[in-house]
Structure 1
Amino acid sequence: MILKNCVALITGASQGLGKAFAEALLKKEAKVVICDINRAQGAVAKAEFDQRYGPDRSMFMACDVTSLPQMKDVFCETVQTFGRLDVLCNNAGINNESSWEKTISVNLVALIQASYLALEHMRCDHGGKGGSIVNVASMSGFIPAAHAPVYTASKHGVLGFTRSLAEASRLGNYGIRINALCPSFVNTSILDTINHEENLGTFYQFKDSVKNLMNVFGVLEPSDIAEGFVQLLEDDSLNGAVMKITTTKGVHFEKY
């Protein structure tokens, strides 16, 4: 995919990984819709992007990704403003074991919902022009995490959904590539949730085990992950791929 002038919608894009993804696309001269529930932070991100890349390159829309009506509005507004949709990045995510239903709702249900909305707009077999979907999972999608069992379950679900939908796209000639991005520990606000008992609940007692893992494996920066994100979009051979990014191996792929 040539990213220049393509139109991308990124959820959870006001800070952290989503913001890094948005900036990486803007540097490639794409157009980006920043979707986030945090209005204040979204306005800040939009102002920064306006200054660096011009006001016509991005748009911010406040949205709760778990709300189907709100997400429908975001997709419609994206197409009305920029004329089409080429990329969806499902990045929004939380880690709250005390409110595990919400964690599943944001991390998995909303991701599935947004993916299906993207299919409606992009499927070649339904009159669309094709495109690409990147679902942000985690290395937690491969390994057990005592401090966050529901978060881990949600990321396992993201991988299963991504690979299965990618196969459906291939068999159905949707013209859409669907891939998963699985970073190791990244310096974002979600990483800080391990320090708060209100997030981990009864599993807070295991926080030191994950901190030990962080010391062993190190912590990546959002810009490191953005490089892999761009690779998933630009490499037209990738569909159903599961990209891992770690401090020790850099970008590599899970082999099933």
Structure 2
Amino acid sequence: MQIKDKRVIVTGAANDLGLTFSRELLRNGASIIVLIDIRQPSGEQAVENLNNEFGRKRAVFLHCDVTNNSEFDATFKEALKILGGLDILINNAGVINELDYSKAIDVNVTAVIRGTLLGIQQMRKDSGGKGGVIVNISSIAGLRAVSQLPVYSATKHAVVSFSRSFAQPYHYDRTNVKVIVLCPGLTSIPVLEDLPQGISSTDILQKNQKVDSVAHGLIYVIRCAQNGSVWISEDEKPVYEVLLPDTLPQKKTEINVKEN
């Protein structure tokens, strides 16, 4: 999908990666972006900066706790009213919290599912929409086991599986909404709240990736990625696609070795 003149919603957009996503989308021609985040002062400042850079009313901030279902629904509805429709949705809100696992699941999984369903409901072809693109932000931790972050890893695995399932022809043939996954490396990108005792951020976060490189990857994914594809952005390198199996792995053959 081309980004020029498209209407966009980005969650978790008050600063860091979400804000960089929003800036890069505007730089590539998005007509208007609604930034959704719980961090109100940061969000309002972000919108002021974006509008100063790209022109008045190009960015709008809406305060929302995405873990509050009714609040998220109402905020999404308000965003659609402001935008006059929707073409691109970036579900970016995320948190690392290994101690309060319920909160981690609410932010990283439930809110992503809810946002995806709201986006599809608005854009789906079989309900009068024009289709669109949803990019769900997972993580490298959603593709491998991370011993220090079992909860975070589990939530990001869920994002990958959910997104790939909703990208299947059963859904896409009716909705014409692409669902794509972007997996940044473990950086200071997520909101880091609580870690188990004895583990520090330096033990788990990579230092050699900037948010700008991930944002450039997002632009490429929106423009070029196939529905249901999974992409990795790490080490300041261009994004690359990973192929995940759609079938169960083969069972290992047991070999009985008899001693002579």
Q: Give the 3-state SS of the residue equivalent to 2:145 in structure 1.
A: coil
**Residue 3 (str. 1) matches residue 17 (str. 2):** no
**Residue 247 (str. 1) matches residue 240 (str. 2):** no
Residue 233 of structure 1, aligned match among 219, 222, 225: 222
The 5 A counterparts of 1:88-167 are 88-167=89-168
Residue 200 of structure 1, aligned match among 195, 201, 208: 195
Aligned pairs, number: 243
**Residues 151-202 of structure 1: per-residue CA shift (max 9 Å, x gap):** 1000000000010001156553311110000011334363xx3xxxx7113x
* Paired residue type of 2:203: V
Matching residue of 1:219? 208
- Tell me the TM-score normalized by structure 2: 0.88
Matching residue of 1:27? 27
Q: 1:139 to 1:189 in 2, by over 3 A?
A: closer
* Paired residue type of 1:238: Q
Could you say what the CA RMSD is over the residues aligned between the two structures, in angstroms?
Answer: 1.9
CA contact (8 A) 2:95 2:190 kept: no
Matching residue of 1:16? 16
CA–CA distance in 1 between the matches of 2:144 and 2:115?
26
Could you list the runs of 5+ residues in structure 2 that have no partner in the other structure? 245-260
The Cα shift of 1:248 comes to 7.1
Q: 1:248 to 1:227 in 2, by over 3 A?
A: closer
Matching residue of 2:82? 81
- Tell me the TM-score normalized by structure 1: 0.89
The 5 A counterparts of 1:52-63 are 52-63=53-64
CA–CA distance in 2 between the matches of 1:68 and 1:96?
20
The Cα shift of 1:210 comes to 3.3
CA contact (8 A) 1:178 1:239 kept: yes
The Cα shift of 1:208 comes to 8.0
* Paired residue type of 1:210: D
Q: 1:33 to 1:169 in 2, by over 3 A?
A: farther
**More helix per residue: 1 or 2?**
1
The Cα shift of 1:36 comes to 0.3
* Paired residue type of 1:220: Q
**Residues 205-242 of structure 1: per-residue CA shift (max 9 Å, x gap):** 3448834x73xxx421111000111111112x511110
Q: 1:153 to 1:80 in 2, by over 3 A?
A: same
CA contact (8 A) 2:208 2:236 kept: no
CA–CA distance in 2 between the matches of 1:48 and 1:186?
24
The Cα shift of 1:50 comes to 1.2
Could you list the runs of 5+ residues in structure 1 that have no partner in the other structure? none
CA–CA distance in 1 between the matches of 2:89 and 2:214?
16
CA–CA distance in 2 between the matches of 1:120 and 1:96?
30
The Cα shift of 1:40 comes to 0.5
* Paired residue type of 1:200: L
* Paired residue type of 2:195: L
CA contact (8 A) 1:169 1:177 kept: no
Q: Give the 3-state SS of the residue equivalent to 1:173 in structure 2.
A: helix
